[in-house]
Amino acid sequence: MSAFTLDHVIESQQFDRDLLELVFQTADQMKTDLYGERRLAKFLDGKIMASLFYEPSTRTRFSFESAMRRLGGSVITTENAREFSSAAKGESLSDSTRIMNGYADVIVMRHNEAGSAARAAEISTIPIINAGDGAGQHPTQALLDMYTIVDAFPGVNDLKIAMVGDLRYGRTVRSLSYLLTKYEKVEIIFVSPPVCKMEGDIKAYLDKYSISWREETDLEKVAPEVDCIYMTRIQKERFHSVEDYQAAASKYILSPELVFAMKPSAIIMHPLPRVDEIPGEIDGDPRARYFEQAQNGLYIRMALLYLLFNKE
């Protein structure tokens, strides 16, 4: 295993294949440890994590806070930093970051502006973990997504994945696209309405690393050929036009008929929360991996916290 430097977790591009494998191996250990002897239960004893969320969150926030506590650390947090912190009084992100540097040992930050985590990391003396920056990236979600995919398809060779829904504003699919370039013989099919097409920067990045991709609008056509369908929610809060949102809302619903047409070995993923794109009746299908995917977030985030404080 090559040497690595993990000072912050800002974007998916900072993870090469060796570092991915180290994170996944560490997550495996965390999963085993959590339900076994709990040898690492006190590893972060005395450490404090600041949970600084300017946007709503359930899975990301609670899994990070659970991860920190399960490793023996403690958490300081606010329900909505945008409304219930000094940000409501006009305090800048840089000032908030500097203040938190004196109170905590690591900051987990979700912000409404793309690039916010990178700006915070430039001035922070403690690790910054990007828990989602607007329509930019969500690297820890991408890591747990990739961890779920690797579990289902060891080696990830010859994988064909359909990313469906809001690809323009969906930071999870953007971040996952970056990670998929670390593997060989991967093909991505972007399935979306015209108003939600994947942005050109991601397509150019895939071209740079010779990852095959194409665009479709018909999920019914794509469903039988792929190994993974990654559904996403149409994010009403990101749209600047009611007309654009209405053109995309409820466009793709993974009906029982579509699931029946999928390969027996295929999997269904979703970063959650969902609206109507995956009906509840699909939850019992063995190919539905989205709740397992969410659980994997705990192990991945435990692994990241461990590695940020353990350079050996």
Query: Strand runs (DSSP E) across 89-194, as ranges?
Result: 106-111, 128-133, 159-164, 186-191
Residue 30 DSSP SS3: helix
Q: How far apart are the first and last CA of the chain?
A: 12
Residues 53 and 81 sit within 8 Å (Cβ to Cβ): yes
- Cα dihedral 5, 52, 199, 282 in deg (nearest 10): 100
Rounded to whole angstroms, how far apart are CA atoms 169 and 115?
14
Catalytic (active-site) positions: 59-60, 89, 110, 138
Q: Phi-psi region for residue 155, left (φ > 0), alpha (ψ -120 to 50) or beta?
A: left
Rounded to whole angstroms, how far apart are CA atoms 217 and 3?
43
Q: Could you tell me which residues are beta bridge partners of residue 179?
A: none
Query: Which of 91, 140, 95 is closest to 294 using CA atoms?
Result: 140
| Burial class of residue 107 in the structure, from the number of CB atoms within 10 Å of its CB (0-12 exposed, 13-18 middle, 19+ buried) | buried
